[in-house]
Amino acid sequence: MLVSELATRIGAELLTQGADIEINQGCALSDADASGISFVSSRKYLPALRATHAGAVILTSELAADAPCACLVVDNPTLAFARALELLHPRAPAPAGWHQSAVVAASAQIHPTASIGALCVIEAGVVIEAGAEIGPHCVIQRDSQIGADTRLVANVTICARSIIGKRVLLHPGAVIGREGFGFARDGERWVRVPQIGRVRLGDDVEVGSNSAVDRGAIGETVIGNGVKIDNLIQIGHNVEVGENTAMAACSGISGSTRIGKNCTIAGAVGMAGHLSIADDVHFTGMAMVTRSFERTGVYSSGIPAMPSADWRRNVARFRHLDEMARRLRRLEEQVAELQQAQPRS
């Protein structure tokens, strides 16, 4: 579309000295040509901006002077670029109806506008609402509900009685509602405790590839509206995640932990069970969370990478920390005794 139309539709101010050019695609700054549009979100990309061959760039007003092309000025370039990509690269919707290889139970209720892909299995009592897209090889077990305009990309498993909200996006390999990791000890063996709860996903939730959300042991595992879950994440039974919280890859949340709204959980964070995390709490990468956090803030743990020789020296010192602490305590006591023994003037 013309750059002027694009600017209007994403709410940008257009600054240009040339013709109203046509934009066909989104591109990286270094790869763009005159038909492409890119974006700049930070001053560290100024060298790439000055050298770009893009036809237009989305950026903030303070960076516009460095652009050699048409500028679409906004406050949030990343968000505006996302909206531009939706306009320039729309996804073709799947056709309504069932593929001939799908297996659909007679009691399933499927809206006529929903799409059921090849080799899907839809069990008894399932409800699939308007505009939902069930990609190939998906399995939706009995009595589950799929909200309007939700999309299961491919090879997604929805276990029995799960409730999936509207406009949810589930990527390949996601498993929603499997039986949680619950066992009772019987002497030297483990006996599975039946997990009789379910999962409830709110609206506008996204779950990445090969991530799992376990059903509640008795009640529900609840993922709030707008939550974003990356690839390879484990959510244990009876976890509750507040609205608009985002989790990066390889994190694990143990059972019955409650996470507040608008939190961010970076990659490879591990949380123990039965914790309470307040709203607007942010954990940096590889944080080991073993206690509750009731106050908003940013929290970290773990040791950042360093040269191997430095790491070995530090590990050797860690072994002596207890001894050093005891020696320091004795020295403090000796200093206190000397101070008390000195005559007062």
Note the pLDDT tens digit of each residue in 42-89: 999 999 999 999 999 999 999 999 999 999 999 999 999 999 999 999
Mean pLDDT computed over 237-249? 98
Quickly state the pLDDT bin for 345 (edges 50, 70, 90).
low
Q: Does the structure show a pLDDT above 90 at 343?
A: no
Quickly state the pLDDT bin for 266 (edges 50, 70, 90).
very high
Query: Which amino acid would we find at residue 32?
Result: A
Q: Is 237 a residue of the active site?
A: yes
Q: Please state, in angstroms and rounded to a whole number, the distance separating the CA atoms of residues 59 and 48.
A: 13
Q: Please state, in angstroms and rounded to a whole number, the distance separating the CA atoms of residues 1 and 84.
A: 10
CATH 2.160.10.10 fits 97-299, yes or no: yes
Catalytic entry in 89, 137, 171, 237: 237
Question: What's the pLDDT tens digit per position in 128-164?
Answer: 999 999 999 999 999 999 999 999 999 999 999 999 9
Q: Please state, in angstroms and rounded to a whole number, the distance separating the CA atoms of residues 7 and 22.
A: 12
Q: Does the structure show a pLDDT above 80 at 18?
A: no
Q: Is the pTM of this model over 0.75?
A: yes
pLDDT greater at residue 90 or residue 342: 90
Q: Please state, in angstroms and rounded to a whole number, the distance separating the CA atoms of residues 235 and 53.
A: 44
Pick 3-88's CATH classification: 1.10.3720.10, 3.40.50.1980, 3.40.1390.10, 3.40.50.2000: 3.40.1390.10
Q: Do domains 3-88 and 97-299 have the same CATH topology?
A: no
Mean pLDDT computed over 155-177? 98
Look at residue 126 and give its three-state secondary structure: coil
Question: Domain residue spans in the chain?
Answer: 3-88, 97-299, 308-341
Q: Does the structure show a pLDDT above 90 at 329?
A: yes
Query: Which amino acid would we find at residue 340?
Result: Q
Tell me what the pLDDT averaged over the chain comes to: 95
Mean pLDDT computed over 222-241? 98
% of the chain with per-residue pLDDT over 90: 92
